[in-house]
Amino acid sequence: MELASALTRIVGERNVQTIGALQAVTALPDVQAKLKELSATPVGSTPETLTTLVATETAKWRAVIQSIGGLKRD
């Protein structure tokens, strides 16, 4: 169990470092300009929040696709 705890701690620390780096990059004026041009808004969150978002969006769009009979190949 100690290994799992250590890995969780290390991943958490790396996540904090990664978020900090991404925030620094997205604060750069040229990156801000490109994001605005693309109508994109960066949103910071946790891995758990992203997991929940992906699951929710997948379920929503799966239902839409199924309602039209699925995807068809040409």
Report the number of distinct structural domains present in the chain: 2
d(CA 64, CA 7): 38
| 73 and 47 together in one domain | yes
User: Can you give the pLDDT at residue 20?
Assistant: 86
Q: Structure pTM? A: 0.50
| 32 and 4 together in one domain | yes
| 27 and 56 together in one domain | no
| 30 and 55 together in one domain | no
pLDDT, one tens digit for every residue, the chain (74 residues): 698 888 888 988 898 888 889 889 988 999 999 999 999 988 777 778 889 999 999 999 999 999 999 888 87
| 1 and 22 together in one domain | yes
Contact in structure between 47 and 15 (CB atoms under 8 Å): yes
Domain limits for position 11: 1-40
| 24 and 12 together in one domain | yes
User: Can you give the pLDDT at residue 66?
Assistant: 93
